[in-house]
Amino acid sequence: MARRVAITGLGTISALGCGVPALLDAMATGRCGIGPISSIPTDRLSVPIAAEIRDFDPAAHFDRRQRLMLDRAAQLALIATREALAAIDLAAIDPTRCAVVLAASFGHATLDASYHALYADHARRLPPMTVPRAMPSAAASHVAMEWGLHGPCFSVASACASSAHAIGLAAQMIRAGQVDLAICGGSDASICLGYLKAWEALRVLSGDACRPFSRDRSGLVIGEAAGILVLEAEDRAMARGATLHGALLGFGMGADAGDLTAPSAAGAARAIGAALADAGLAPSAVDYVNAHGTATRLNDSTETAALHAVFGGHARRLAVSSSKSMHGHCLNAAGGLEAVVTALALREGLLPPTLGFRAADPECDLDCVPNAARRQPIGIALSNSFAFGGLNAVLALGRAE
């Protein structure tokens, strides 16, 4: 019999602050982390706003040698993992049965600095740790090394669904009895000139705010973050008296196999339906959906259509909000951060708002919890992640019993 999967640790850092308490405060007060970029020059950017982690001093978290080895993306992953593991005694768990499954996160800051040195400054050599810092599996390796974990350790690359895929695959390993504990989620640090210019070329960035589901929405806002969950077999976690933040009930995934950038309502609906089937849930059991909700015109209307296709009349009774309106679109970290948000919504009975909502859109006819958080006990929630390339991942979470 498959084991029930418990969430026993949560960790995060984002534009909303460092740590779960800061994230929870932002959810409750509707605080937005989006603003002018301060960490890099913006004179060459057409869209100089992002959801940036401010007042971040790596020296407060890592010594000089560590900083030489760590890109910003790996730094964020380690900080969030430290919080997620703070109440867990790993010494009591066989390290060969502890997995690390994180989103693949390129070291954009490292690559950006290296290419500038090479092409602009005509450097004859680059720092020797450039490749190990920039490789997309670096964060997972550093997490395993810091805690001496010898179980499965790998990174998942599926664009903005990467973290959600990582969490779902980790849960499957717990269920199957392959591991007893899994650290999963992801990090992303993409506020770099080169990468932001690439996003500008897509013409999907908003120049002022992220307004998901609002009729006047104008595009997404890039964010940086890490969101980490610790998953364990529920029976083992309860036996050792662990604090349970919730449960990972189901996981659905699939491919649109259509357009490289345009989303598919049918593909999203299949992934949502697969998550419900995996959890053994009827659509009517779901109380809340943390939407992918990027605030692009096509994404939000397509996701709305998918929700109507799966939930039918129940879609009118669902609360569906996009926390990206507060913390931005954190790309490869999005699914991890939003899974933490969804777990907190279940644990606290607090639905995060969709900020910036100004006018109803007939193509987004949902209860999007506009502009203010809502106190509402909920038992079942979904977290949607839909990526370029038609790569879809949906997590079904439940309140701790």
CB atoms within 10 A of CB 95: 14
pLDDT at 401: 81
Dihedral of CA atoms 209, 214, 215, 216 in degrees, nearest 10, equals -10
Contact between 334 and 159 (Cβ < 8 Å): no
255: enclosing H helix or E strand: strand 246-255
pTM score over 0.85: yes
- Confirm if 320 and 366 have CB atoms less than 8 A apart: yes
Angle of helix 334-348 versus helix 20-29 axis, rounded to 10:
70
The Cα–Cα gap between 158 and 137 comes to 13
Query: What single-letter DSSP state applies at residue 87?
Result: T
Cα distance from N-terminal residue to C-terminal residue, the chain = 19
**What are the CB-based long-range contacts (under 8 Å, 24+) for 33-37?**
33/223, 33/326, 33/327, 33/328, 34/209, 34/210, 34/221, 34/223, 34/326, 34/328, 37/191
Per DSSP, the three-state class of 99 is: strand
pLDDT computed for residue 3 by the predictor: 76
Asked if 243 and 7 touch (Cβ cutoff 8 Å), the reply is: no
Both tokens assigned to 203: 């013409």
Q: Tokens for 395?
A: 């997590």
**In the chain, which stretches have pLDDT less than 70?**
1-2
For residue 372, the 8-state DSSP code is: S
Concatenating the DSSP letter of every residue in 3-28 gives PPEEEEEEEEEETTEESHHHHHHHHH
All domains in the chain, ordered by first residue: 5-239 (3.40.47.10), 250-398 (3.40.47.10)
Element (H, E) at 89: none
Count CB neighbours of 37 within 10 A.
18
CA contacts within 13 A on the Cβ side of 12: 29
Catalytic residue ranges: 160, 292, 329
The predicted-structure confidence for 171-219, as pLDDT tens digits, reads as follows 999 999 999 999 999 999 999 999 999 999 999 999 999 999 999 999 9
Task: Give me the helix-helix angle, 193-202 and 108-115, nearest 10°.
Answer: 100
Task: Give tens-digit pLDDT for 114-138.
Answer: 999 999 999 999 999 999 999 999 9
Predicted pLDDT of residue 2:
65
As a whole number of angstroms, the distance between CA 28 and CA 132 comes to 39
The pLDDT score that the predictor gives to residue 1 is 47
